[in-house]
Each structure stands twice: as C-alpha cells, then as structure tokens.
Amino acid sequence: MADNQIVSPLLPAVRAQFDKSSFEMGYLFTGYSLAAGLSVLLWGPLSDAYGAKKGLLVGLSLFLSGAAVSYFSRTFGALLGGRVITGMGASLLSLNTISYAADYFPYASRGWAMGSIFSSYFAALILGVPMGTVIADSLGWNSAFGLGGITAIGLIFAVRRLLPDSAGRGRRRSSRLVAAQQIETYLRFLQAPKTVGVLLSAFFASAGITGFIAFVGVWLHDSFGVASRQIGLVFLVSGAAALVASPLAGSLSDRIGKRIQFIASSLAMALLLVWAPHLKWGLWLCAVFGLISLAAAFRQGPMEALMTEVVARQTRGSFIALKNASSQLGIALAALLSGIIFEIAGYFGVCLFCAGLNLVAAGVMIQLVHERHL
C-alpha cells in the first residue's frame, strides 16, 4: 500500500523528468491496476489450490522484481513496466492476505479482524509515504521504490518464519486447475444478485477514491506550490486518523452490520470529496483529508469481511480474486478518466466525478445486497 500511495506525491518530479502531461501520468495508475485486476483472476484458483502462504511468498517476489525495475528505470516506459510487474505482485498480496485471515476468523468477528489488517494499510500513509517522500527529496524519486524493494526482502523472510502453513491450504484438494471449471465458477458469481452487488460496489468504491488520491499531489503542487515532503505530511495526517479508527470501525460493523456501514461511509465520502477542492492549503484541508481517510477506514474493513461471507469457503479465493479484479479495473478506468477530467476541468472536476462514483457504490449495495445478516 505504501508503494502504491507514494506515486501520487512523486508525480510532479516524475512528470518533470520525463516531460509528460498529467494525463500521461495517469498511465502509471492505469497500468498498475490493469495488471493487478487481470492477473488476480489467475491467482484466485491458485490460492485455493496451493494455499495463501505460498501466494504471499510469490507475490512478494513479484513485488520485489517490480520495485527493482522501477528503481533502475531511466525511461518512462521502463517505469511503467515496473509498475505493471508491481501491480501483479500486489494483487497476489491483497488476495492472499484476505484469504488467509478469512480462514482464521469467524464472520462474527471478521469485521474487527479485517479492520485491524487494514489499519496497517493506513499505517503505510503515516510511515511509508512520508518516509518515501523524504528519501525521494534527498536521493531522487526512484529511491522510494528502492525502499519498497528492501522492505519486500525482509517480508519474504518474515512470512516464511512467522506464518503457519495451515490457513487456506489445499481447499480444492487438487492441484490440477481446469480452465473451463474456473470460468464456470466465475460465471456463477456473476449470476447471483448478492455477489454481483458486491462486485459492482467494489468496482465503484475503488474507482471513487482513485482520482482523489492520484492527482492530489499534482493539485497541491500546481495550485499551492506544495513540495513532495509537505504532501507526504498530508498523507501522514490522514493516515493517522484512519489508523486509529480502522479497528474500531471493524468492531462497529460487527454490531450494526457491514452492509449498512459500507453504505453510510460511501455517502459521507461523496460529500467530503465535493468539499475538499474548495479549500485552501492549510489546517482545514488537512482535516478534510483526515475525514476522507476515516470514511475509507469505516468502509474498507466491513467490505472485505462482507465479501468473504457471500460465497462458500471452498471458492472464497476465487471470489476474492474476482472482487479484486473488479476493484482494480475500476481503479484503472477511473485513473484514465480522471486524467482526462483533470486536464479539462481541474481537480474539482475529478473530485466531483469521484463523488458520483461513491454514490453509485452505495446505491448498488442498497439495490442488490439485501441479506439482513450481512
């Protein structure tokens, strides 16, 4: 997550070095997300067959490779290639983290579990992004990706030594994956209203935050002359708020319902996105960024917990893969469109577009996911 979020404050420096437009900078997000969204469709059944721990190790290896390519890139094409490889690795990490946790925690407490896991994602905003921007200011923007690669090496050893093998291991009892059977599994997910509702909600929710994050660094730099290090502080403030709230948000969703909390958080985020671009650089803007992060924290954990309950355990990895593919494709499309909108209507246009996507995410969840226990 730190690797993904660090791109936004680095965009002004990358844009200057390669002499690219803001629209072209969006390719870095689109390429990453397309690679993640398409490759995860393959990772899902492999996770079901071979287990989440092996998936985490392979994902970290791909992530390390992508970080290395990004670090040594001397052309925009090479950097884009590095982001594509990193996206493939990141999709494996996201899928298998959720699948691993879902095997360990019952649904009654899974909102708390997922909220706790996602609090580490917001910790990336507090530690990873500010640290990356400081290093980038001193050693160049590519050094931030080098830091991510070094971290991946440490995580490979940690996963091998600290995680038991049992979670998500061999749920299919077979290592032979038949393509036709997997396609049939995916098609079944696309026929049930509740799984379609989760997939579409994930698509619009992920898309609805993309433009805001992707172009906030460019907006702050171009409108207020804010340096990368100061942009990193914005991520620190917003991440701190979400870090504290995420486990609490998960526990709350266990009591009031994951579905209800997702809807309420999406509506709140839509309002905040409309408000943010009207503010000037300063305390109020940082406060609104923090509230947007809170809305994301109150939404993400419940969404991940809900997703793991709408399908049978033996196909959970496949559904998580399809959901992640839906999210990443939403991110890719939103990044592409946001780049166009930013060039035409500025950051306010991007935020208005993203607010509309969040409203659609809430509406889809209301219309298609009706089960009360969710």
**All domains in the chain, ordered by first residue:** 2-163+182-368 (1.20.1250.20)
Please give the angle made by the CA atoms of 65, 69 and 74, to the nearest 5 degrees: 175
CB 243 within 8 A of CB 123: yes
Per-residue b/e over 331-352, b at no fewer than 16 CB within 10 Å?
bbbbbbbbbebbeeeebbbbbb
Q: How far apart are CA 350 and CA 367, in angstroms?
A: 26
The C-alpha angle 148, 351, 78, rounded to 5 degrees, equals 35
Task: Identify the residue with better confidence: 88 or 34.
Answer: 88
Confidence (pLDDT) at 179: 56
- Higher pLDDT pick, 362 / 228: 362
Cβ-based neighbour number of residue 314 at 10 Å: 12
Model confidence at 174, pLDDT cuts 50, 70, 90, reads very low
Q: What is the pLDDT of residue 322?
A: 83
Task: List the end-to-end C-alpha distance of the chain, in Å, as a whole number.
Answer: 27
Residue located via tokens 């985020």: 269
Q: Region 237-254: what's the mean pLDDT?
A: 75
pLDDT for residue 373: 63
Q: Which pTM value belongs to this model?
A: 0.69
Mean of the per-residue pLDDT values for the chain?
82
Per-residue pLDDT at 356: 96
Lowest mean pLDDT among 15-29, 111-125, 274-288: 111-125
Examine the pLDDT at 173 and tell me if it is beyond 70: no
Residue 177: its pLDDT value, please? 46
pLDDT for the residue 125: 66
Residue with tokens 């989440």: 52
Query: What is the per-residue pLDDT for 175?
Result: 44
- Residue 176 DSSP one-character state: P
Average pLDDT over residues 190-211: 88
**Better-predicted residue by pLDDT, 127 or 351:** 351
* Contact by Cβ (8 Å): 218, 22: yes
pLDDT digits (tens, 9 = 90+) for 72-93: 999 999 999 999 999 999 988 8
Give me the pLDDT at residue 120, please.
73
When pLDDT is cut at 50, 70 and 90, the band that residue 11 belongs to is confident
pLDDT above 70 (res 58): yes
Read out DSSP for 304-335?
A: HHHHTTSS-GGGHHHHHHHHHHHHHHHHHHHH
Q: How confident is the model at residue 294 (pLDDT cuts 50, 70, 90)?
A: confident
Q: What is the mean pLDDT of residues 118-146?
A: 79
Contact 146, 345 (CB under 8 A): no
